[in-house]
Every structure is written in C-alpha cells, then in structure tokens.
Amino acid sequence: MNDDRYIDGVIFKRGCCVICDTPISGGFFCPKHEDRSVQQPSQTAGNAVVRNLKVGTTAYVNPLSVFTSGGRYFIFSNTKTSNWARGTNTTKITRRKDHVEVDRSTIADSQISNYQFNDIKNQDFLPAKFNRTTTTKPQIISDMEIDEAGFTEPHNIFELTKALFVVGTGNVSRRRTQYKTVRIIRREDLYEIDGNTITPDDIEYGMPEDADENGCFLAEII
C-alpha cells in the first residue's frame, strides 16, 4: 500500500504516528497516542473527528484547526468536532464530498495559521474552502433586534451631558475581533454596555465628529 497521499498535486506522507513514528495500520490512528474511539466513522458531530463526518453534516471546531499552505486552505482531519458552538472561539464547518466548507463569518484571518508542507508532512488533513458569507447581520448598531447582543469598538460609545450614548451607524458584529471590542445588548429603550468590556478611558466625552445626532441612542453600563 502506497503511503503517499495526493491532494491537489502535492504529495503528503502518511501512515506514521506524529509522536513516535510508528507505522499505523490504515494510516488513521496510533494505538499509543490517538483516541481509538474515532476509529469507526460517526454521523454525529459530537462523537466524530472531521474526517469521519457524514457528507452534509454541520459541526463546530477550534478555528486553529484551519490553516493555509501554498496559497490553499486545509483543515486537520483529526480535529474533534462538536454539535454546538462553544462561545465566540468556535468555527462552523460543513462536510462536503471532496472538501470541508468553512463558514467565513465564524473565523478571523488572525486565527488561520500558515504552514510549510514540511511542517505538517506526518499529519492528515483535508482541503478546505470558505463559503460566500463574509459578514453577519446586523452590520450596524441601529439594525440590532431587541435583546440582541453584539460587539462594537469603544469609540462608538460616548458621554454627553452626563449620559451615555452609542452611535447608531457604528459597526457591530456577533464575535470579538482581534482589536478591543465592547459588548452591547439592545433593549427596548436603551443599549446595555457590558461593564467588563469597557473602561472609563474608553469613553469619549462629547459627541464624536462623525456621529449623526439623530443616529445616537441612550446607553448605560451594567
């Protein structure tokens, strides 16, 4: 049996444990260092690794399992999956016949590692492609639904006449970014600001120059 594997014309060595270099039967697991519970394919994301997901199954993984190499994207196939998102540091994937589709709105560029093929020659992985989704709604603060939470940059919070406001045209996302963000929740009569995500130094005094007076909403820190 040939231990070489071809993906997009590139040869990858397989069939040996990454830790002890012991030949592995079938090239899927090492009895000493890998979980034997994933030996048989599973259709349930919570009991499977990426390579064993049934085609069409949606699951959630650690974003660090997605990487780029040689201008293409891949995902480590022995990554354990979950049936649900665990906080904001989770990437949504869908198993396709010849690749793994990654929801672009659930992974940041800073979470995608870059490897040389020689660095991962003993590991098993699958081609990955991003779906067409590049943004998540709401895109601006004023578009948020009642009781919906999101993250915005601190400069969208300001104080005027001893009251706090948010700029309605400020960008908002459902996930934290690599920059400092403030968690806000829209209520019926105001926006609640998570006090654990903002400091007094983050709050601007006076209306920002680019803020539209009719697009600002009352806020309070909780």
Identify which has the larger pLDDT, 191 or 161.
Answer: 191
**What is the distance between the alpha carbons of residues 183 and 149, in angstroms, rounded to a whole number?**
7
The predicted model gives 145-172 an average pLDDT of 89
Rounded Cα distance, 221 and 163, in Å: 10
Write down the pLDDT at residue 149: 86
Separation of alpha carbons 79 and 52, rounded Å = 10
Across 44-53, 94-103, 123-132, 141-150, least confident range? 44-53
Q: What is the mean pLDDT of residues 129-154?
A: 78
End-to-end CA distance of the chain: 63
Query: Average of pLDDT values for 159-165?
Result: 91
pLDDT of 40 above 70: no
Give the C-alpha separation, 127 to 5, whole Å: 13
Q: Are 126 and 73 in contact (CB under 8 A)?
A: no
Q: What is the CA 199 to chain-centroid distance, rounded?
A: 26
Bridge partners of 130, per DSSP, are: 102
SS3 131: coil
Q: How many helices, marked H, and strands, marked E, lie in the chain? A: 0, 16
What gap in Å lies between CA 25 and CA 32, rounded to an integer? 13
CA 164, CA 219: separation in Å to the nearest integer?
5
Q: Is the pLDDT of residue 38 over 50?
A: no
More confident site: 30 or 201:
201
Average pLDDT, the chain: 77
CB of 102 closer than 8 Å to CB of 111: no
Sign of CA dihedral 10, 11, 15, 19: negative
| Per-residue pLDDT at 213 | 63
Q: Which residue is listed with tokens 């995902």? A: 75
Neighbours of 102 (CB within 10 A): 24
Assess whether pLDDT exceeds 80 at residue 46: no
* pTM score over 0.85: no
Give the tens place of pLDDT for each residue, 79-113. 999 888 766 678 999 999 999 999 888 888 888 88
Share of the chain above pLDDT 90, in %: 33
In whole angstroms, what is the distance from residue 27 CA to residue 98 CA?
19
